[in-house]
Structure 1
Amino acid sequence: MLDKTTVSLTAISVAIVTTGIATWALLKWQETSKKLRKYVEKYSRMEVVQQYLVHHFAKLEDLPHLKSLIPRTAENYHEELVKFVINTCDEHKIKKGRILDVGCGPGGISFHLSSAFQEVVGTDVSMPMIMAGQQMKQFAEFGSPFSSEGGKYIKLYRLRVPDSADREKVEFWNEDVCALLYTCGKFECVLVSNALTDLNDPKAFLENIGQYVKVGGLLIIADVYHWPSGPEECLGGEGLVSSFSLLKEILSAFWDFQKETNLSYYLAKCARLAEVGNAHVTVWKRKEELLEEDP
């Protein structure tokens, strides 16, 4: 039999280990909450929401000081990306049923997708962005204020949902895709447009999103890979690594890489200043042999 001293030491050891695990879990939760709060705060400021409304729905003709500066290839990023998604689904004979638009913002891409898909779910952790999308869904057209010089001088921009959109097919979720619930069902396609580097835990998202995609379904990622602390830090790589190489490594267990392309975009910061980017677009197909439980 164990003596009382041994039992006491064992109990103390268990208590220390348990306390250590609980402390680590608490610190991890606090770190995650801090990252998520930072993102939510950034994309919940009204001036940023208005900026993205202009980005998603205004026309370049409304920004005359930028029109001559923006490359023509960057003019219609949302439309071109959606065309790419639709054509890619057709190439792979993917049924255009449900599609998840990750980091949808005020919903520009979601509405374009509704012209081809039966159900479009746009998700974002910023409630003001989701509310803006809901407003566009309800009214289809309205004037949005935009501080074109960053101050009190406000100009109204005419925003309109694309004529080809079927607004009833679009719904918006205020949810963190890094912690999706199984109750959300499965999708034929998941699109992540310039949102991967903003996710609270991009590696966890990439590791788990396959559970929400049907047999042979697609994951399409478009991003400029402007990480807050580098891909090796955010995706768990070591040494001299590129974002694409880490995507291949993380996704290889559940996805087959299909193809890649590049699409340019612009984001107006004010009436005379814009961010121009070149998004790397990659297509991944869900491995069928790992989805035997699917109907």
Structure 2
Amino acid sequence: MMSSSIFPRDPQVSVSPHCYSRYHSDAAAAQYCDAHYGPDKFGVPNFPAQLARLCTDAAATDRRGRALDLGCAVGRASFELAKHFEQVRGIDYSARFIDLARRLRERGTLTYQVFEEGELVADRRVCLADLDLAAGAARVGFEQGDALQLDAQTDGYDLVLAANLLDRLSDPGAFLAGVHRLVAEGGLLAIASPYNWMEEFTPRKNWLGGFFRYGAAVTSAEQLHKRLAGHFVPVGSPRDLELVIRENARKYQHYVSELTLWRRVDPQR
């Protein structure tokens, strides 16, 4: 964990680390490796690769120095960003995911197993060179960490990507209140989320949306705009991106995340 957090969290809010244990399991490792590096499923394009492309397209050509990939999982978006950015830092809460991403960066290849049915598995192999990701791998660094415990030195990024992270934080409001400190003026913030609020990750009182307040529906999208308005302006329109996670040969999870892009501005101007 990093010290001297820049995010103003409520000290009374806590979520048991037990809820994150799923991201350390063999099943999760297989599912995320396959989601990041395996074949496309049902015609749905690769989710992290799409994210990286859209972020790069929105970033000014003279603002492609440093990128931060928060909730990087096993690293596909980080490697994709390194094709265009000079330095990429990937951070994830799961030490298991980070270990896999590091091994892939260091060796250039990674073998993992996917479940077929029951106890039956099949070997899969990923090669960075085959995905045109090898050239930039040296510009990527991976580390285990908590997105709500980044220190004050973690700032000045030209791009901060938070993909499917927001609804897995114990205090997403604190994250949004402090995220401007990570982004350089004129830099880009990219947030993708299915807004799948669950109390095992986020206490209900900290949900951004998905509930009624005084009889009116509160949505996560409108809360994003309200909470980021002081330091960011939206770039373009929200966009839906699909993600398919393979559990076994005949069972898949299908998510739709809303991607919003934001340009960091100086509130004094």
* TM-score interval, smaller chain: 0.7 to 0.9
Aligned to 1:110: 78
Secondary structure of 1:42's aligned partner = helix
Shift of 1:189: 0.8
More helix by share: 1
Query: Aligned equivalents of 2:190 and 2:62: distance in 1?
Result: 13
Shift of the 33–77 alpha-carbon distance from structure 1 to 2, 3 Å rule, reads closer
Give percent identity, aligned residues only: 25
Query: Aligned equivalents of 1:275 and 1:147: distance in 2?
Result: 14
**Would you identify which runs of 4 or more consecutive aligned residues in structure 1 move more than 6 Å?**
none
Aligned ranges for residues 1-295 of structure 1 at < 5 Å? 28=12, 31-34=13-16, 37-60=17-40, 67=41, 70=42, 72=43, 74-90=44-60, 95-149=63-117, 151-161=118-128, 162-165=131-134, 166-229=136-199, 233-235=205-207, 239=213, 240-259=217-236, 260-290=238-268
Which amino acid in the other structure matches residue 121 of structure 1?
R
Shift of 1:33: 4.9
Query: Aligned equivalents of 1:265 and 1:33: distance in 2?
Result: 26
Contact 2:158 2:184 in 1 (8 A): yes
Shift of 1:116: 0.5
Query: Aligned equivalents of 2:179 and 2:84: distance in 1?
Result: 22
Query: Aligned equivalents of 2:264 and 2:54: distance in 1?
Result: 18
Query: Aligned equivalents of 1:39 and 1:115: distance in 2?
Result: 34
Query: Aligned equivalents of 2:234 and 2:183: distance in 1?
Result: 15
Note the alpha carbon deviations across 1:180-200, whole angstroms, 9 max, x for none. 101234201111111211123
The root-mean-square deviation of aligned C-alpha atoms, in Å, is 2.2
Query: Aligned equivalents of 1:105 and 1:142: distance in 2?
Result: 15
Query: Aligned equivalents of 2:69 and 2:106: distance in 1?
Result: 19
Please, what TM-score do these two structures have when normalized by structure 2? 0.85
| Greater shift in the superposed pair: 118-127 or 238-247 | 238-247
Contact 1:94 1:217 in 2 (8 A): no
| Greater shift in the superposed pair: 169-178 or 77-86 | 77-86
The gaps in structure 1 that reach 5 residues or longer are: 1-23, 61-66
Count residues with an aligned counterpart. Answer: 249
Aligned to 1:14: none
Larger radius of gyration: 1
Contact 2:172 2:208 in 1 (8 A): no
Secondary structure of 2:240's aligned partner = strand
Query: Aligned equivalents of 1:59 and 1:231: distance in 2?
Result: 36
Note the alpha carbon deviations across 1:200-248, whole angstroms, 9 max, x for none. 3211111111111111111111111111149973345661111101111
Shift of the 280–209 alpha-carbon distance from structure 1 to 2, 3 Å rule, reads same
Which amino acid in the other structure matches residue 185 of structure 2?
V
Contact 1:191 1:221 in 2 (8 A): yes
Secondary structure of 1:109's aligned partner = helix
Secondary structure of 2:63's aligned partner = coil
Query: Aligned equivalents of 1:216 and 1:122: distance in 2?
Result: 21
Contact 1:57 1:159 in 2 (8 A): yes
| Structure having greater relative contact order (Cα 8 Å, sep ≥ 6) | 2
Please, what TM-score do these two structures have when normalized by structure 1? 0.78
